[in-house]
Amino acid sequence: VEQHGVVDGIYRLSGVSSNIQRLRQEFEAERCPTLQRDIYLQDIHCVSSLCKAYCRELPNPLLTYQLYHKFADAVATQMEEARLGKIKEVLKELPLPHYR
């Protein structure tokens, strides 16, 4: 995405709905879509839109409901170095599939 798109705002802008659905169908058919195809390079936002949709639709978020308060506390830490240390500690508590 970052190699073929304008990085500023690339994850905020939505792709064309039909391209997002086409890409979703390719993944759901258990194929690994070729993201180098012109249709995806011309609408690189459809790739980031599908990634965001995937994360939104997970039954348990990547940063899990169980660790929500620990992440919130870590992010609220004022000193950047301490904040990063606390976030890393909470990340170690994630279930392995979420951590990967």
Q: What is the pLDDT of residues 15-57, one digit of tens each?
A: 899 999 999 998 888 778 888 888 888 888 888 899 899 989 9
- Pair of tokens at residue 58: 């997970």
Q: Give CA–CA dist 44/35, Å, rounded.
A: 9
Query: pTM for this one?
Result: 0.65
| Residue whose pair of structure tokens reads 């390719």 in the numeric block | 26
Residue 70 CB neighbours (<10 A)? 17
Euclidean distance between CA atoms 72 and 87, whole angstroms: 9
Task: Read off the tokens for 48.
Answer: 């980031």
